[in-house]
C-alpha cells in the first residue's frame, strides 16, 4: 500500500500546475492545505474523491477538487502499484502557498 500512496502522491505532484492555484486567492495571499480522500474499487478504478479536511478557504477547497478531478478522473485506472485486488481509500494533501519572487542580483 505504501508504494501505491507514494505513486499517487507523485502523480498528483507532477500534474499540479500554477494554474491550479486560483488567481484571486494568490493575489489575496490566501494559502492553505486541503486534504482529500481518493477511493479506488477492487478493479483498480478511481471511484470517488472529496475534501476530507478543508483549508479554511472555499476558493482553495474548490480548486483542489477541480485538480483532483482532472488528475484522477472517475472510472480511470489507478497506477500499477495501486492494483491491489481490493478497494481502498487514501488521503493526500494539496498545498497552496504563495512563493516570494526570486531576488534580483
Q: Phi, psi (5° rounding) for residue 77? A: -75, 140
pTM of the shown model: 0.88
Mean pLDDT of 47-58: 96
On whether residue 34 sits in a domain, the answer given is: yes
Cα separation, 44 vs 86, whole angstroms: 8
Give the model confidence (pLDDT) of 58-105 as tens digits: 999 999 999 999 999 999 999 999 999 999 999 999 999 987 666 666
The 10 Å Cβ neighbour count of residue 93 is 14
Percent of the chain with pLDDT over 70: 94
Query: Residue 29: which region, alpha, beta or left (left: phi > 0; alpha: psi -120 to 50)?
Result: left
Q: What is the torsion angle, in degrees rounded to the nearest 10, for the CA atoms of residue 100, residue 20, residue 65 and residue 87?
A: -100
Q: For position 17, what pLDDT does the model report?
A: 93
Number of domains in the chain: 1
Residue 8 lies inside a defined structural domain of this protein: yes
Which residue range forms the structural domain that includes residue 89? Answer: 2-96
Q: Which three cell numbers stand for residue 30?
A: 490566501
Say which CATH number the domain at 9 has.
3.30.2420.10
- Rounded to the nearest integer, the mean pLDDT of the chain is 94
Amino acid at each position: 500500500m505504501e508504494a501505491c500512496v507514494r505513486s499517487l502522491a507523485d502523480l498528483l505532484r507532477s500534474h499540479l500546475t500554477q494554474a491550479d492555484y486560483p488567481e484571486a486567492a494568490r493575489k489575496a495571499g490566501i494559502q492553505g492545505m486541503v486534504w482529500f480522500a481518493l477511493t479506488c474499487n477492487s478493479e483498480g478504478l478511481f471511484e470517488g474523491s472529496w475534501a476530507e479536511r478543508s483549508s479554511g478557504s472555499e476558493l482553495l477547497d474548490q480548486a483542489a477538487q477541480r485538480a483532483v478531478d482532472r488528475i484522477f478522473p472517475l472510472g480511470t485506472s489507478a497506477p500499477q502499484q495501486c492494483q491491489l485486488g481490493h478497494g481502498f481509500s487514501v488521503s493526500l494533501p494539496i498545498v497552496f502557498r504563495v512563493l516570494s519572487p526570486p531576488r534580483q542580483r
